[in-house]
Amino acid sequence: MYKIYRLLIILKSSLDELRRNKLRTVLTSFGITIAIAGVTAIAGIMAGVEQDLTRDFQELGSETIIVKPNIYLWYQTNNLSTMSLKEQLALQSHVRGISKVASFSPFSFQGDGISGTQFSLGDKKANGTVLAISESLANVVNRYPLKGRFFKFSDSESRRRVCLVNIGLANQLDISDISQTKYLQLGNIKCRVIGIMPGSNKDILGTSADVYLPLGTAAQLNLNAISLRFAFKVLEDANAQGILKNVSNILRASQKTPRSSPNNFIIQDANEIKSLSKEVYRKIAGVLFLVVSIALIVGGIGIMNVMLASVNERTREIGLLRAIGASQEYIKVKFLVESSLLTLFGGVLGIALGYLTSIVLSSILGTSGQYIPLWSIYACISFSILIGLVCGLGPAMKAAKLPPIDALRAS
Amino acid sequence: MIELKAIQKKYIKGKQVIDALNNINLRISKGQLLSITGSSGSGKSTLMNILGCIDNPSSGTYYLNGLNISEYNDKELSNLRSQEIGFVFQNFNLLDHLTAVENVMLPLNIKGVSFKSSFNKAMELIELVGLLGREHHTPLELSGGQQQRVAIARSLANNPNIILADEPTGNLDSKSSLAILDIFLKLNKMGKTIILITHEPEIAKAFDRNIVLSDGSMINEGE
Ligand SMILES: Nc1ncnc2c1ncn2[C@@H]1O[C@H](COP(=O)(O)OP(=O)(O)O)[C@@H](O)[C@H]1O
Ligand SMILES: [Mg+2]
């Protein structure tokens, strides 16, 4: 019982001590605050990224396969893949065990497939990406309009000037309500908005955009801008390897790729991309954590320094406490409690700061992630306390070992 | 209750050895009112610190209540200081950031007594030393005499049998000195053993017993 009270009283007097030196407390623990804020922000953003990846891939399903031009080969040989409807037909008719093959292509009015496009409706303007897609894409990537309808074969066939708008852009341009006919100006044409699409406008598979056009319509507008990518599902999971081998052979044959040349296309499956992107993010996070650990060590040294100064400053107080009955252990515990409260304070402040940082950063990066995982809060708090204990140990031992009379005599 | 046998204390500074105490043999019985006098540097404080268990003799044995405490470890000695001994210093040694009552509570805090009972006990003692109404003042808001009263109240917090006072009136004017002396006499009547270092012969005369130190040795004991 006495022990518990003793600890509570030490806690209270240490809190008073920190409160009495508010400015010093804040400045001293600032290093820890910054480091913990870093950890928290990274953890928050990572959690958001993981969440986004998981969601994207849940929508897709792991059996989804994407075939796209081998951009690395293009850089090396300037030989751009020329996958077209011919390859799509070849895949569809010669490969067994796959779903309907959907095709899509990033589209721009400049013809490079990269430049952004200006959108406007009335006096509202925005900038974004356009994707030309076949009507079968919805079923392959499991993404359907929130409102209105998806493209039909006939939209593409008769080059109708219709488009689908991502929810984000729709909100920006104030066209989420499509019960009335609305025309979106994009580039130099106007298209009727026939539906609103869900989800983020960036996904790593490249199957989403701000605005979608039917492939046929886009081809009529700028045929040069069309270089197809394909998306399909593998229906027989057991034979996936064989099926993909088959896809590869058929594409090579259709494009008459010489035997000695590498594939001018890349076949990606969702799981592979998922683990690849996770790994990239993990490596980035690993590097950041390393930087943060250094900050934490520097912060800890700062704490040790200030605690040593505090011991010197309070030598007489220590001597007095010893004279009126405090044991070495009591003095040691007192200084350890003080230093760990200092780092705990820094840590809690850091968690708050890190939370704010992760909100700001995730909105800049466009990831979701406005929450901090619980494990990181626990880890930050226990780590803060641990640093306080480790860095406070030296000063606390020094204080405890001071001979009482010498300490009392100090001026 | 206190018995010192052949106590010696040497300080070694480089090649120089200072004999601060030489072969001190001393018995102090319970309830005694004892003064220690002697010129500056004669070893009074050294003797007091050894009596108060905040310093170790170089040799000799110290019996307290019949127990040889020369072999006690830090924890046992700390306990002893907490239970048996109250210290009063020339320079008061109050903590400036605490109020009077909080200063008096300190020894109880160290022991782990609950806030409520240590507060009540401290208030009793504040009253005993005549400072009721000043309990929430900090030392800087009190006069020297009042600060020394707070220090005396603090020395009594754990209800020790022995009060050690090292020149408690050394920093005070004569009026305050008398008032402080009065408190010690009152405490002695309550049964406390009082051991007090002083420079003033009048004070020494008012006490039961006086020992005189010179160059680390007891040269005379006037009963
Ligand atoms: N820590 C110390 N180191 C060296 N010498 C000391 C120390 N403390 C006291 N002394 C010496 O011991 C002698 C006795 O000192 P002290 O007990 O303080 O005398 P008093 O209290 O009677 O004035 C003095 O000569 C003093 O210089
Ligand atoms: Mg002295």
Q: How many residues does chain A have?
A: 411
**CB of A220 closer than 8 Å to CB of A158:** no
**CB of A295 closer than 8 Å to CB of A30:** no
Which among B49, B97, B110 has CB closest to A325?
Answer: B110
Q: Please name the residue whose Cα sits nearest to atom 3 of ligand 1.
A: B11
Give the pLDDT score at A319. Answer: 96
Q: B54 in contact with A at a CB cutoff of 8 Å?
A: yes
Q: Is there a contact between B74 and A328 if contact means CB atoms under 8 Å apart?
A: yes
Q: Which residue has the tokens 């490596």?
A: A283
Q: Give just the sign of the alpha carbon dihedral B136, B141, B142, B147.
A: positive
Query: For the segment A15-43, what is each residue's pLDDT rounded down to a tens digit?
Result: 998 998 889 899 999 999 999 999 899 88
Closest atom of ligand 1 relative to the B38 alpha carbon = 22
To the nearest whole Å, the CA of B179 is away from the closest chain A CA by 24
Looking only at the bridges linking them, the beta strands covering B33-38 and B193-197 are parallel
Question: Is pLDDT of A277 > 80?
Answer: no
Give the separation between CA B163 and CA B161, rounded to whole angstroms. 7
Query: For the segment A370-401, what is each residue's pLDDT rounded down to a tens digit?
Result: 678 888 899 999 999 999 999 999 999 999 99
Give the pLDDT score at B212. Answer: 94
Specify the 3-state DSSP secondary structure of A96.
coil
A&B contacts, CB < 8 Å? 74
DSSP character at residue B58: S
Q: B44 in contact with A at a CB cutoff of 8 Å?
A: no
Give the separation between CA B47 and CA A279, rounded to whole angstroms. 72
Give the separation between CA A209 and CA A137, rounded to whole angstroms. 13
Q: A245 in contact with B at a CB cutoff of 8 Å?
A: no
The rounded Cα A384 to chain-centroid distance in angstroms is 25
Give the pLDDT score at A184. Answer: 92
Query: What order do you get walking across the sheet with B16-28 strand by strand?
Result: B16-28, B2-13, B59-64, B67-68
Give the pLDDT score at A270. Answer: 72
What tokens appear for B75 in the block? 């924890």
From the CA of B40, how far away is ligand 2's center (Å)?
A: 7
Query: For the segment A184-207, what is each residue's pLDDT rounded down to a tens digit?
Result: 998 888 999 999 998 765 566 778
Q: B112 in contact with A at a CB cutoff of 8 Å?
A: yes
Q: Is there a contact between A2 and B112 if contact means CB atoms under 8 Å apart?
A: yes
**CB of A119 closer than 8 Å to CB of A184:** yes
A261 vs B139: which has the higher pLDDT: B139
Q: Is there a contact between B78 and A316 if contact means CB atoms under 8 Å apart?
A: no
The rounded Cα B122 to chain-centroid distance in angstroms is 18
Q: Which residue has the tokens 């046992």?
A: B76
**CB of A10 closer than 8 Å to CB of A333:** yes
Give the pLDDT score at A62. Answer: 63
Band of pLDDT at residue A271, cut at 50, 70 and 90: confident
> Which residues of chain A from 5 to 44 reach within 8 Å of chain B, CB to CB?
5-6, 9, 13, 16, 20
Q: B52 in contact with A at a CB cutoff of 8 Å?
A: yes
* R_g (Cα) of chain B, nearest Å: 17
From the CA of A406, how far away is ligand 2's center (Å)?
A: 13
Give the separation between CA B145 and CA A44, rounded to whole angstroms. 60
Band of pLDDT at residue A364, cut at 50, 70 and 90: confident
Give the separation between CA A371 and CA A354, rounded to whole angstroms. 11
Name A206's Cβ contacts closer than 8 Å, sequence gap at least 6. A66, A68, A106, A229
Q: Parse chain B into domains and list their residue ranges.
A: 2-222
Instruction: State which H helix or E strand residue A330 sits in.
Output: helix A328-365
Give the pLDDT score at A111. Answer: 54
B109 vs A64: which has the higher pLDDT: B109
Give the separation between CA A380 and CA A348, rounded to whole angstroms. 8
When mean pLDDT is compared over A53-62, A86-95, A318-327, the highest value belongs to A318-327
Give the pLDDT score at A81. Answer: 59
**CB of A70 closer than 8 Å to CB of A81:** yes
* R_g (Cα) of chain A, nearest Å: 31
Q: Please name the residue whose Cα sits nearest to atom 12 of ligand 1.
A: B20
Give the pLDDT score at A115. Answer: 63
Q: Would you tell me how many other CB atoms lie within 10 Å of the CB of residue A411?
A: 5
Q: Dihedral angle at the C-alpha atoms of A245, A251, A253, A259, nearest 10 degrees? A: -70
> Which residues of chain A from 300 to 319 reach within 8 Å of chain B, CB to CB?
316-317
**CB of A291 closer than 8 Å to CB of A382:** no
Residue B101 exposure: Cα atoms within 13 Å on the Cβ side? 17
**CB of A91 closer than 8 Å to CB of A97:** no
| Pocket flag, ligand 1, residue B42 (CB < 6 Å) | yes
Give the separation between CA A348 and CA A378, rounded to whole angstroms. 11
Q: B96 in contact with A at a CB cutoff of 8 Å?
A: no
DSSP result, A358-408? HHHHHHHHT----S--HHHHHHHHHHHHHHHHHHHHHHHHHHHHS-HHHHH
Q: Is there a contact between A2 and B113 if contact means CB atoms under 8 Å apart?
A: yes
Q: Parse chain A into domains and list their residue ranges.
A: 2-56+275-409, 63-269
Q: What is the largest CA-CA distance in chain A?
A: 100
Give the separation between CA B27 and CA B2, rounded to whole angstroms. 6
| Pocket flag, ligand 1, residue B18 (CB < 6 Å) | yes
Which among A6, A325, A404 has CB closest to B107?
Answer: A325
**CB of A212 closer than 8 Å to CB of A163:** yes
What tokens appear for A96 in the block? 């067994």
**CB of A212 closer than 8 Å to CB of A151:** yes
Question: Which residues in chain B come in under a pLDDT of 70?
Answer: 221-223
Give the helix ranges, DSSP H, for B92-173. Answer: 100-111, 115-128, 144-155
Q: Which of B68, B74, B79, B73 is nearest to B7 (CA)?
A: B68
Residue type, A333: V
Name the least confident of A110-124, A321-335, B55-69.
Answer: A110-124
Set of chain B residues whose Cβ sits within 8 Å of the Cβ of A403: 55
CATH dotted code for B2-222: 3.40.50.300
**CB of A153 closer than 8 Å to CB of A207:** no
Looking only at the bridges linking them, the beta strands covering A124-128 and A117-121 are antiparallel
Q: A407 in contact with B at a CB cutoff of 8 Å?
A: no
* B102 to chain A: closest CA residue: A13
Give the helix ranges, DSSP H, for chain B. Answer: 44-51, 74-84, 100-111, 115-128, 144-155, 174-189, 201-206
Question: Is pLDDT of A1 > 80?
Answer: no
| Pocket flag, ligand 1, residue B12 (CB < 6 Å) | no
Q: Would you tell me how many other CB atoms lie within 10 Å of the CB of residue B219?
A: 11
Question: Is pLDDT of A68 > 70?
Answer: yes
Please provide residue A111's backbone torsions phi and psi, each rounded to the nearest 5 degrees: 95, 0
A94 vs A113: which has the higher pLDDT: A94
Burial of A343 (0-12, 13-18, 19+ CB in 10 A): buried
* A19 to chain B: closest CA residue: B97
Give the pLDDT score at A79. Answer: 58
Chain B interface test: which of A324, A329, A333 (most B C-beta within 10 Å): A324
What tokens appear for B112 in the block? 């782990």
Question: Is pLDDT of A362 > 90?
Answer: no
From the CA of B47, how far away is ligand 2's center (Å)?
A: 9
**CB of B156 closer than 8 Å to CB of B131:** no
**CB of A334 closer than 8 Å to CB of B110:** no
Chain A interface test: which of B54, B58, B154 (most A C-beta within 10 Å): B54
Give the separation between CA A74 and CA A394, rounded to whole angstroms. 61
| Pocket flag, ligand 1, residue B11 (CB < 6 Å) | yes
Name A110's Cβ contacts closer than 8 Å, sequence gap at least 6. A225
Q: Is there a contact between A324 and B82 if contact means CB atoms under 8 Å apart?
A: yes
Set of chain A residues whose Cβ sits within 8 Å of the Cβ of B157: 324
**Average predicted confidence (pLDDT) for chain B:** 94
Q: In Å, how far are A8, A167, A213, B78 from A195, measured between CA atoms?
A: 64, 9, 11, 82
Set of chain A residues whose Cβ sits within 8 Å of the Cβ of B110: 6, 321, 324-326, 330
Q: Is there a contact between A316 and B93 if contact means CB atoms under 8 Å apart?
A: yes
Q: Is there a contact between A404 and B54 if contact means CB atoms under 8 Å apart?
A: yes
Give the pLDDT score at B223. Answer: 45
Give the pLDDT score at A269. Answer: 80
| B7, B11, B54, B164, best to mutate for ligand 1 pocket (most atoms within 8 Å of CB) | B11
Angle at A231 between CA A227 and CA A233, to 5 degrees: 165
To the nearest whole Å, the CA of A300 is away from the closest chain B CA by 27
Band of pLDDT at residue A283, cut at 50, 70 and 90: confident
Angle at B3 between CA A318 and CA B85, to 5 degrees: 30
Q: How many residues does chain B have?
A: 223
Question: Is pLDDT of A61 > 80?
Answer: no
Give the pLDDT score at B128. Answer: 95
